[in-house]
Amino acid sequence: MNTITAAITAVGGYVPDFVLSNKVLETMVDTNDEWITSRTGIKERRILKDEDKGTSYLAIMAAKDLLAKANIDPLEIDLLIMATATPDMPVASTGVYVATEIGAINAFSYDLQAACSSFLYGMSAAAAYIQSGRYKKVLLIGADKMSSIVDYTDRSTCIIFGDGAGAVLFEPNYEGLGLQDEYLRSDGVGRDFLKIPAGGSLVPTTFETVKDNRHNIIQDGKTVFKYAVTNMADASELILKRNNLTNDDVDWLVPHQANKRIIDATASRMNLEDSKVLMNIEKYGNTTSATLPLVLYDFESLFKKGDTIIFAAFGGGFTWGSIYLKWAYDKK
């Protein structure tokens, strides 16, 4: 088979040491462990406490983990795609800095932002570069320091988000493994339901925007939940039908870790048994761009060569979609 497909050949990950548990949050805002767990499935989340470290630090650590595990020379990396909603700076690309810091000086790099769908969109981009035949090694990193944009007096958001990073390497495959199909969508109707109001070109930073606390993430939880449940489930169901797959054909569902009820609804629409649905939301919360690769990182040992994996995500904007991928290796 001479057709080039784009396969994931290595996985890395990193989460900070500090654990912010539901019990600790009870001392910070008017909430409790039972309420958080029953509505989100989250028990704790990791927080990068170092004030002098940003998303780039998380990404560098995840990338170094991947390179060390796979014994890859960073000079061989052709391209680094940085999926993130919390870049270190508004202009200077975080991905460019990460590439330099890990020694991938032969790679070009850029940031990709699609909120919680950033990594899913990044998989599509990385695969396209590989399938073009021009590139052999594309490093895709999903990383977010969500604690940097969370208001810890707002109980509707501070219970949800955590910090973390995951990385995958895409390489050419000639066995028909790797990315098989994708269904990616977006709709600007979501612009006002999940956002950071100020700090962009529309509402530049002023003393007033800072004083009014308009630089942290806000969301209309009920509206976002409704759209997420419908669209993640629809996209996952469609990718199955389009590829003539049944629930028996699917080995694993790797869903965005935003809310256990959203994950459950997606799995139910696909008629998947619980054992096929991979979740680590209880440990990390919603790490935004890092959720999908961190699931791969945590459960890598379960995957066998040829396994059928369905990815699904939903993010602010709105952005969403599903990807069908065949796993390319057995973990050594």
* Separation between Cα atoms, residue 32 and residue 39, nearest integer Å: 11
286 is annotated as an active-site residue: yes
- Give the CA count within 13 Å in the CB-facing half-sphere of 216: 16
Which residues, at least 6 apart from 40, have a Cβ–Cβ distance to it below 8 Å? 159, 160, 259, 260, 261, 281, 285
Residue with tokens 């790490």: 287
Q: How far is CA 190 from CA 124, 161, 193, 232, 253, in A?
A: 22, 19, 5, 15, 25
* Separation between Cα atoms, residue 38 and residue 43, nearest integer Å: 10
Asked if residue 117 lies in contact with residue 321, where contact means CB atoms within 8 angstroms, the answer is yes
Asked if residue 282 lies in contact with residue 41, where contact means CB atoms within 8 angstroms, the answer is yes
Adjacent-strand bridge partners of 115: none
Q: Say which of 22, 116, 158, 173 is annotated catalytic.
A: 116
Count the Cβ atoms, other than its own, within 10 Å of residue 181: 14
Q: Say which of 173, 216, 259, 286 is annotated catalytic.
A: 286
How long a stretch of residues is the chain? 332
Residue with tokens 């061989």: 76
Asked if residue 80 lies in contact with residue 95, where contact means CB atoms within 8 angstroms, the answer is yes
Tell me which H or E stretch contains 121. helix 118-131
Q: Say which of 158, 216, 256, 259 is annotated catalytic.
A: 256
Q: At 4, is the secondary structure helix, strand, or coil?
A: coil
Which residues, at least 6 apart from 151, have a Cβ–Cβ distance to it below 8 Å? 157, 158, 213, 216, 217
* Separation between Cα atoms, residue 241 and residue 282, nearest integer Å: 31
Locate 234 and state its tokens: 């629809």
Active site residues: 116, 256, 286
